[in-house]
Each structure stands twice: as C-alpha cells, then as structure tokens.
Structure 1
Amino acid sequence: MISISLTPLRTLVIGCLTAAGLLSSSGVAGASTMTRAPSQEARPPYSLLQMNVCSSGYAGCYARTQYPKIVDEVVERIQANDVNAVTLNEACSGDVAEIAERTGYHYRFATVIYNGAPLACKTPDGRGEFGNAVLTKEAIRASEDAPYSVFSGTEQRRWLCATTARGVDVCTSHLSTDGEAPGTTNSIQCAELARLLASRGRPAIFAGDVNRRSSCAPEGQWTLTDAAATQAPGIQHVYGNLAAPTLELEPATYTDHDALVVRAGLPK
C-alpha cells in the first residue's frame, strides 16, 4: 500500500478557500458582511436646516461672520445636508437671493421694519434688506408673512410661512428679546405664533430663533431646541406635526448660533 500524506493537500484546499473568501479565519464557511453608511434614501423624507446668520452689519456678532464667509457656510451646509427646506434669521435679501441661486432652491423673504422703514444691510452695502427667509428644494406654491401685534424697541418682528409643492408649510420667525415672563412682548408674540401654527391645515414645520427657552408650539406639535448647542443654547426652536423628528446640532463657524438640522417623516 502506498502511503500518501494528506497534510499538504489539506493545506492547499484551505488556502484556496480562504483566498476565495469562502472560509473565515475560524475555519467555518460563511458569507462576508460589509458595514455601509446609511444612504440618503434611508433618511426620513423631510429635512430642514435652521440658522441665525447675524448678517445685518449692525449687530455686535457681525464681525464673526467674516462676510462673505457666512454666505459660503450656509451654501455648504445646505449642500452637505441635502435638506428640503432652510430657515434663516437675521439675513439679508441679497444674500438669500445668492444662496438660492447657488443651491437651486426657491425662496421667500420677509423684510423686517426698523424705525418705520426697511433696514438696509451694510458693510458692505448693496446686500438688500434685513429680515428672515425660507428656502425650499421644492417649488413654493404660496407664501404669507405678517407682523406680530406688538414689538419692543424699534425693530418690528414678523413671521413668514411658505407652502411647497409637496404640500408642506415651512415657517420661520425671530421673536423679541425682552424675556419670556408673562406680559412681555416676547410672550405675546409666542402666543400669536402658537395660534398661527395651530391654524395650518397641512403638514407643517417651524424653525427660528425665538429668544426664549419655553416652547411656543401649539398643543399637539412637538418641540426640539438647541439646548445642547455650544453657542447661545436653548433659544432656537423647531416645532411641527411631522412624524418621528430627530435633531442634529452643527457648530457654526461664521455666526454666533449653532445650526440645527431636523429630519422627520411626512404624515401618511
């Protein structure tokens, strides 16, 4: 009888199986797995970016913007997050038009009245008027804005809502800074905002700098805030009636408020 050693043959077979990816290091056959980052298709179907960009040229925070770097930062965050909507406070109409052109988004702008007239942004001049904006990836079918019944000082405060072709209302506002105690201008504006949002008869999401920590959301709507932000925490809020919202905070480089990114599902 001829004796044949099986060891070299076994080694050869194992080596071939291993090279083919059919044998794990433990010697058990199985399929390989790969961990992938979540695709954009796996994200909830509606998303929003909120930023206070401090762009008027008058406020003490303006130096932080290193204009026009703040405009570039907004564009980069829109593109990186691929959001459906953007809400901007303390913005300039010319800058918003540029952001819309660079991103391909549609927009509406609400001019804030200051000392009885629109306030022209400065340093540099020629950037349009001061106010708040809504930008959307989908076409805007209708929009409306109006002042609150009261305001403190010389700056009128307004709300702005845009209805998209997707049937979602996107709203923003920037409330007064006189505190949130009962009877203050801020608290009155907060109550008016709650009534406005309660009256929307379709899926709706609000985001803005409300200059308060307690919520203005109407009954039945959720509240998310930037309480964990690294800058000016707790005063930017997001309210809505979309499903299962999640919040991501992104430290901002060229403004004194962090950015909020909210993702949620549309009601069926």
Structure 2
Amino acid sequence: MILSLRALRSLILGCLLTAGSVLSPHVAAAATTAQSHGVRSYHAHPTYALLQMNVCSSGYAGCYPGTEYPKILDEVVARIEANHVNAVTLNEACSGDVAEIAARTGFHYRFATVIYNGAPLSCKSPEGRGFFGNAVLTKEAIRASEDAPYSVFSGVEQRRWLCVTTARRIDVCTSHLSTDGEAPGSANSTQCLELTQVLASRGRPTIFAGDVNRHASCAPKGHWTLTDAAAAKDPGIQHSYGNLVTPRLEIEATTYTDHDALVVRVRLPH
C-alpha cells in the first residue's frame, strides 16, 4: 500500500504523540509544524509581557494611606512574579522603592525624577525613599535610556516621558500626563501630541504603558491601543500602545493602590 504524503505525516505524528513522555516539547512542536504544511507553531513566536501600575507612593496624595506602605511594594513584586513579565512600568513611584523592587526581582531599571515646585520631590511617610517619579524595569539588560519633560504642564508637577532600550532591542516607555482634561489646548492634550511623536520616532519594536489621565488615545499611526476601560478603579485612563503583534490585555484588581493593574502580552518578531 502506498501512502500519500499527508497520510504519512499524520501516521508519523500519531506514533510520536503516542510515545508520551518520550516526546519532548520541541519535537512535538516540530511534528505539528510538519503536519500543518509549514504553518508556524506557537513556540516559533515568543511572547513578551508587561505590567503597568500606578502605585501612589509619594506620601502626599490622598490615596497614599490605602497603599499601607510597604504592602504596595509586596503587591508589585508579587504581580511581577505571578505574571512572569519581562517589563514593568510604574507611575507615582519613589526611586528608593523602585531600587528595592529591582533588587527583590533581579530586574534592571531606570528612573525619571519629576520636578515639583521647581525641585525634586522627596517621598515621605516614611522618609528616605528617594525622589518621586516614573520608572521602567526590565528583565533583560538595559542598553540605553532617555527621558525628558513635556513642553507644558499644569499646576506645580512637571510631567515627563521615559523610554529604555533593552538588550532584545525592544523599547519600553512610560509616562504620567497632567490631570487638567483632554480638551484641545489643555496641557494634557499637548503632552499627548508630544508623546505620540516620541513613540513614533523610536525606530524599534516599542511598547508603552502609563497613566495618561485621558480616554482618547495618544498612540502613533500603526500602533494599537489597549485601555483599562473595564477596570473597577478609575477606568479608561491607563493605556498601552505598541507596534508588536497580537496584543492581549488582562486587568487585575489591586489591593493597595487606587488604580487596577494592567498586564499586556504581545508576540515578538523573529
């Protein structure tokens, strides 16, 4: 009896799968690829995961008592470990706390200090936690970083963006925009336009996440937008943008901060 090529492949795959524990995941993936006539298997597309949190850690904001410091730090570390993320973006963070999170997880980090009333703002309650600002942490080494203030901001709190380039040649960015509304001409609206330009200029696979204090997207053309519109706490104003493929969003309820957490998963290019 002469078997067709398709039948022969199916027979071989069936024998391999019957072997059970003898078959390694890599061999199984290769067999599945052969049966599907060159369709790439899931394992051919590695994933990249990012955790976004606004941690309300300055010690000044009305939400700070709810952090029950240092329980907020334990919550961030637990979510990093439970979600097996590659990157973390944090808003309303303190530099000393970010250093502690990095030490506990083995992540690399960069911190962007936000100027407040013309000077860096020291976090309080307790003292000695460094300055207030935003952070990006990554599992892979950080090869370069950039941060800069926006051209305008409302009130006494400067607003900045921060981007890092990892050893995998992926850029991870974050920002925390002003709270004066998203109407045309507002500081928030101007910052949004400037953030669009920053992300459009990266020239590499890029993923952004942050508390943008608006519902309309700041994503450049060609980037997708995900938001926490389904969150229980202050929904719709934390966003993620990117030009990596197959984005998927998970919203996780938080205990010790006034925003829910975002977990974004994407597929990486070859």
**CA spacing shift, 1:119–1:84, aligned 2, 3 Å:** same
SS, match of residue 181 in structure 1: coil
Q: How does 1:47-86 map to 2 (within 5 A)?
A: 47-86=49-88
**Deviation digits for residues 162-181 of structure 1, max 9, x if unmatched?**
00000000000000000000
Asked if the contact 1:94–1:128 (Cα under 8 Å) also holds between the matched residues in 2, the reply is yes
Asked if the contact 2:45–2:268 (Cα under 8 Å) also holds between the matched residues in 1, the reply is no
The one-letter code sitting in structure 2 at the alignment partner of 1:167 is: R
Q: Does 1:157 align with 2:147?
A: no
Q: Does 1:199 align with 2:195?
A: no
Asked if the contact 1:44–1:263 (Cα under 8 Å) also holds between the matched residues in 2, the reply is no
Partner of 2:181: 179
Partner of 1:222: 224
Q: Does 1:212 align with 2:205?
A: no
Q: TM-score w.r.t. structure 2 length?
A: 0.83
Asked if the contact 2:68–2:256 (Cα under 8 Å) also holds between the matched residues in 1, the reply is yes
CA distance, structure 1, for counterparts of residue 245 and residue 58 of structure 2: 35
Give the one of 63, 72, 95 matched to 1:93.
95
Q: How many residues matched?
A: 231
Partner of 1:140: 142
CA distance, structure 1, for counterparts of residue 153 and residue 46 of structure 2: 37
The one-letter code sitting in structure 1 at the alignment partner of 2:147 is: D
**Percent of aligned pairs with the same amino acid:** 79
The one-letter code sitting in structure 1 at the alignment partner of 2:155 is: G
Structure 1 unpaired stretches of 5+: 1-30, 34-39
Q: CA deviation at 1:43?
A: 8.6
Greater share of residues in helix: 2
The one-letter code sitting in structure 1 at the alignment partner of 2:267 is: G
SS, match of residue 217 in structure 1: coil
CA distance, structure 2, for counterparts of residue 96 and residue 42 of structure 1: 34
Asked if the contact 2:114–2:157 (Cα under 8 Å) also holds between the matched residues in 1, the reply is yes
Moved over 2 A (4+): 40-44
Please tell me the root mean square deviation across aligned C-alpha atoms, in Å.
1.5
Q: CA deviation at 1:266?
A: 1.5
Partner of 2:250: 248
**Deviation digits for residues 231-261 of structure 1, max 9, x if unmatched?**
0100000000000000000000000000000
Structure 2 unpaired stretches of 5+: 1-17, 21-41
The one-letter code sitting in structure 1 at the alignment partner of 2:108 is: H
**Deviation digits for residues 113-136 of structure 1, max 9, x if unmatched?**
000000000000000000000000
Give the one of 168, 172, 181 matched to 1:166.
168
Q: TM-score w.r.t. structure 1 length?
A: 0.84
SS, match of residue 179 in structure 1: coil
Q: CA deviation at 1:42?
A: 9.6
SS, match of residue 109 in structure 1: strand
Structure number with larger C-alpha Rg: 1
